[in-house]
């Protein structure tokens, strides 16, 4: 199975086979075993063992391998083709608007205007149907403008935060 993995704005092709993974032009032997009831796994890669913690967070994976923490977007080959056909750029350079994914109540805004944010950093928490949903940055960016505050009721699609790419700041 072929995937495209984006970390810190860089995308690499990853092909997963039985007992091996090809990352770009390099092939490594791997054995991954999950630890039941946890987000933790053990990864044996080319004879070296690593502790891996991975959890899905919205459209990204938050991964910790041997103390190195990263946020990764992982898409399969089919999704990549659909994005290409529809003109969807996928991961951005940080410029984007954060919109409410559903109607709800703003519980907390975790950033201020002019703050620098990093991938995976929390931006705003919305409560919907008694569940809190944290919206996170997908790329390094500056908080350009905040359109909501704590206690605001929001509708699906409502503009919450504008982010500007670091190069424009």
CATH number at residue 70: 3.30.700.30
Domain that holds residue 131: 96-168
Q: State mean pLDDT over 134-156.
A: 91
Report CA 26 to chain centroid distance, whole Å.
Answer: 24
CB of 27 within 8 A of CB of 98?
no
Domains: count for the chain: 2
Q: State mean pLDDT over 12-39.
A: 91
Burial of residue 45, with CB atoms counted within 10 A of its CB: 0-12 exposed, 13-18 middle, 19 or more buried: middle
Give the position of tokens 């503009």.
159
Whether residue 43 is found in the same domain as residue 62: yes
Of 66, 86, 106, which residue sits at a domain end?
A: 86
Asked whether residue 91 is assigned to any structural domain, the reply reads no
* 168 confidence band (pLDDT: 50, 70, 90): very low
Q: What pLDDT score was predicted for residue 42?
A: 92
Q: What pLDDT score was predicted for residue 151?
A: 97
Higher pLDDT, 153 or 4: 153
Quick check: 14 pLDDT over 70? yes
């Amino acid at each position: 199975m072929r995937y495209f993995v984006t970390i810190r704005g860089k995308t690499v092709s990853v092909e997963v086979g039985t007992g091996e993974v090809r990352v770009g032009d390099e092939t490594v032997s791997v054995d991954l075993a999950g630890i039941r009831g946890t987000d933790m796994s053990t990864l044996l890669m080319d004879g070296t063992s690593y502790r891996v913690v991975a959890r899905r967070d919205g459209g990204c994976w938050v991964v910790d391998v041997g103390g190195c923490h990263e946020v990764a977007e992982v898409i399969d080959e089919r999704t990549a083709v659909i994005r290409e056909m529809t003109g969807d750029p996928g991961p951005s350079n940080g410029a984007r608007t954060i919109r409410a994914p559903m109607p709800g109540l703003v519980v907390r805004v975790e950033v201020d205007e002019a703050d620098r944010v990093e991938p995976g950093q929390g931006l705003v928490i919305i409560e919907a149907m008694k569940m809190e949903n944290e919206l996170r940055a997908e790329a390094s960016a500056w908080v350009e403008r905040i359109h909501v505050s704590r206690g605001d009721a929001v509708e699906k699609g409502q503009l919450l935060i504008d982010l500007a790419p670091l190069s424009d700041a």
